[in-house]
Structure formats: C-alpha cells, structure tokens
Amino acid sequence: MPHRRTARLASWQIWLLTLSGSGLWLSGSAWLLLHYYGQTEGEFGPQMNPLEPDMLTVHGFMLIPALLGIGGMFVAHIPHGWTHRHQRVAGVLLSVILAVLIASGYLLYYLGDEDWRAWASLGHWALGLLLPLAFVWHYINGQKARRRSTRRPPNGQSGRQAV
C-alpha cells in the first residue's frame, strides 16, 4: 500500500519507477548506439538502421508506466518529503531532470525546424543518460537518512520521525 501520511514509497512504486526508468534508459541508449554506430550500407550510401524505430516504440511504451509512477509522486511523496531538508536538493534535482525530459520529449514530436529539433534531441538524451545517477543519489540519500532516524538514541526511545 502507498504511505499516504509519510514520504515513504510502497515497494511496488519503487519497482514501477525502477523498471520503467531502466526501460527508458536502455531503449534510449540502444537508439543512440544504432543511430551513431549502427548505420547500414544501402544502395545510395549509409542508411538508418531498421531497428531504430523499434527502439522508439519500446521507449514510447515505457513512458506509460513511467509517467504513471512519476504522477504518483505528487500525491504524498513530494508534499511530505518536502519537510526533509536533507532530501530537498536531490529531490528537486531529480524532479527538474524529469520535467526537462518530459518537455524535450514533447518537443521531439512537434518541433518542425531541423536545427531546433537537433538541440532538443541532444539535450534530451544527454540528460537522459544522467537520469540513473540522479535517481540512485536520491534513493541512497533517502535510505541513509532513514537509517539515521531509526537508530535508537541513548535514552532507549526510537528516533523514527513521523513525516
């Protein structure tokens, strides 16, 4: 069950975010490898690898669970998490990266100008490659803080904070 009174996430939420995020990262990275190193030789010179569109199909599919998972963060996680100062920087950084990925992903569909589209693409995948680092930093920071707050103080009472 999701924790509605604290910033803690249910394990299914963590799995949803981890698996869909990994799917996005792997399909995006596979597209990059195919696009820059996997061109095939055609009748009229180098050609796009035929697997490129398949990678974007997987990418688009993974967006569905990812956006559901991210949307769930607004219900309790971010409002309750905001009171934990130690997590604010990592939380805001992760949220900003996700917001830019969502906005640049949208632009990739609708930007007509080739130059602008190339910049949106570069910004999108450069930030996308860094996403796991921001996620893991935020996760580990949260785990460490939880361990600190559950460590028993010398008077024997639990130090766990309700947030």
What's the DSSP call for residue 154? Answer: T
Closest of 51, 53, 29 to residue 40, by C-alpha: 51
Binders of ligand HEM among residues 81 to 110 (CB under 6 A) are 81-82, 84, 87-88, 91-92, 94-95, 98, 101-102, 105, 108-109
Give me the DSSP letters along 31-92.
HHHHHHH--EEETTEEE--TTHHHHHHHHHHHHHHHHHHHHHTTTTHHHHHTT-HHHHHHHH
**If binding is defined by CB under 6 A, does position 125 make contact with ligand HEM?**
yes
Count of CB atoms situated within 10 Å of the CB of 70: 20
Give the nearer residue to ligand HEM in terms of CB position, either 24 or 43. 24
**If binding is defined by CB under 6 A, does position 22 make contact with ligand HEM?**
no
| Contacts to ligand HEM by CB under 6 A | 6-9, 14, 17, 24-25, 28-29, 31-32, 56, 59-60, 63, 66, 70, 73, 77-78, 81-82, 84, 87-88, 91-92, 94-95, 98, 101-102, 105, 108-109, 121, 124-125, 128-129, 131, 138-139, 142, 146
